[in-house]
Structure 1
C-alpha cells in the first residue's frame, strides 16, 4: 500500500509540474510569438474563427506543431533510455524553417530550461545553450516522470491555446469564439498525441507550404505585434 501511495504521489507530482511548466504564467515568453499567424491574418489567409480553426488544424495534422510534437516524443524517449540529447538538439535546431522560427524555438527552449531549473535535475545541465522548445519540454518531462503521452498532449494544447490568444489579440476572434475553438481542438489534440507518441524521426515532415512561407514573410513585414 505504501508503494502504491508513493507511485500515485509521484504521478500526481509529475502532473502538477507539467501544469506549471505549460501554464501561461511560466516565464518562457510565448506570448511574443505567433509562428506566422500574424502574417496569415495580415495577408487575409485567416479572416475569422473558422479560418483560425482550420489554420490550427492544418498545423496540428501536417505542419510545425506535428513536427515539434514528434521531436518532443523523441527527446522524451532519448532521455528515458539514458542517451545523449546532443543529436536531437542539433537536428531540431536545423529543422527551423526560417530565421524567426529558429529564434522562436531556441529562445523559448532556453527560457523553458532556465525556468525549469527551479526543479533541480541533472537534465538541466545537458540542455545548456540553444535548445528547441519541444526538445526541452520532452527531455525535462521525461526526467520528472511525466508520461510521454501526457507531455505531448499538454504541449500541443498549450501551443494551440497560445495561437488562439494571438488571434484574439489580432482582433480576428473574440474570447467566446476562442474558447469554442479550444473546446473543438480537444479531440484533434488527443488524436495527434496518440499518433505522435508512436512516431520517430523518420516521420518528420510537413505539407504546409503557405504557412511556412508566411513565417518567412513575417521577417520583412512592415508593421507587426509579434516576433514571429
Structure 2
C-alpha cells in the first residue's frame, strides 16, 4: 500500500485525526466500559484480544468500506450515494449507543467544519462522523489509504485511552498495545479495499451486548 502525501496533506491528516479534535469521540467507550464491568476485560491481554477482534472483523467490514464508499461518492459529487453510505452505517449499528456515537460526533464535526469555512452538503438525518470525515478528506485532497489509516489509528488510540482509565492500564502498557496492534491497522485498510457495498456489514455479538448493557449500566464514566 503506497501512500503519497504532500506536507500540507500530512498536516491536515494529523489535524483531522488529532485527539484534540472537538467532536466528543473521547466521551464514548463503544462497549468497553461495560465489558470491563462484566469482567470480560481484566488486563492488557484481554484488552488486546478485544481490540484485535474489532480490527480483524469489524472495521474492515463496516467502518472502512463505508469511508471508502463515502469518499468515492464525494469525489463524484454524488450526494445521494454519499448519504446512502451514512444510512448503511447507521442501519448496521446494533445498539442505540453506537448509533448515538455516529450521529453525535457527526453533528459536532459538522459544526466544526462550518467554523473552518469548509463547504458542506445539506444536513440530513444520516450524517455521521465517518461520512463527514470522508467529505473533508476529499476536500483536503487526501487519498483513501491515508484517510483510512488515520481514522483507524484515531479509533485505536481512543479505545486504548479508554482502557487506560477503565481496566486500568499503565501508560507503558498502553503504548505496548498501540505498538502491537499497529500492523493490524494496515491489514484492515487493505482488506477493506476489496469489500463491495453488498458485502459491507459486520456483527460482533459480544460488542453489541456490551454496548446495549452499557446503556443501562448504573454507574459509568462514558456516555451512552
**Contact 2:60/2:188, CA 8 A, preserved across alignment:** no
Indicate conservation of the 8 Å contact 1:65/1:156, yes or no.
no
Q: Could you say what the CA RMSD is over the residues aligned between the two structures, in angstroms?
A: 1.9
Q: 1:79-98 residue pairs with structure 2 within 5 A? A: 79-84=74-79, 85-98=82-95
Greater than 6 Å deviation, 4+ residue runs: none
> How much does 1:118 deviate?
4.2
CA distance in 1, matches of 2:70, 2:189: 15
Paired residues for 1:113-192 under 5 Å? 113-122=110-119, 124-127=120-123, 131-192=127-188
- Is 1:73 the counterpart of 2:71? The answer is no
> Where does structure 2 lack aligned partners over 5 or more consecutive residues?
none
Secondary structure at 1:202 match in 2 = coil
Q: Which moved more, 1:92-101 or 1:74-83?
A: 92-101
Q: Which residue of 2 aligns with 1:62?
A: 57
Partners of 1:37 and 1:153 in 2: CA distance: 22
Q: Is the 8 A contact 2:103 2:127 kept in 1?
A: yes
- Quickly say closer, same or farther: Cα 1:30–1:65, change in 2 above 3 A: farther
Q: Which runs of 5+ in 1 are unaligned?
A: 1-7
TM-score normalised per structure 1? 0.89
Higher helix share: 1
Q: TM-score, normalised by structure 2?
A: 0.90
CA distance in structure 1 between the partners assigned to 2:78 and 2:28 by the alignment: 31
2:61–2:195 CA contact under 8 A, matched in 1 = no
Deviations 1:79-117 (A, max 9, x none): 112211222222222222211111111111111222233
Between the aligned partners of 1:117 and 1:149, the Cα distance in structure 2 is: 25
User: Which deviates more, 165-174 or 81-90?
Assistant: 81-90
Range with bigger deviation, 26-35 or 201-210? 201-210
1:108 counterpart = 2:105: yes
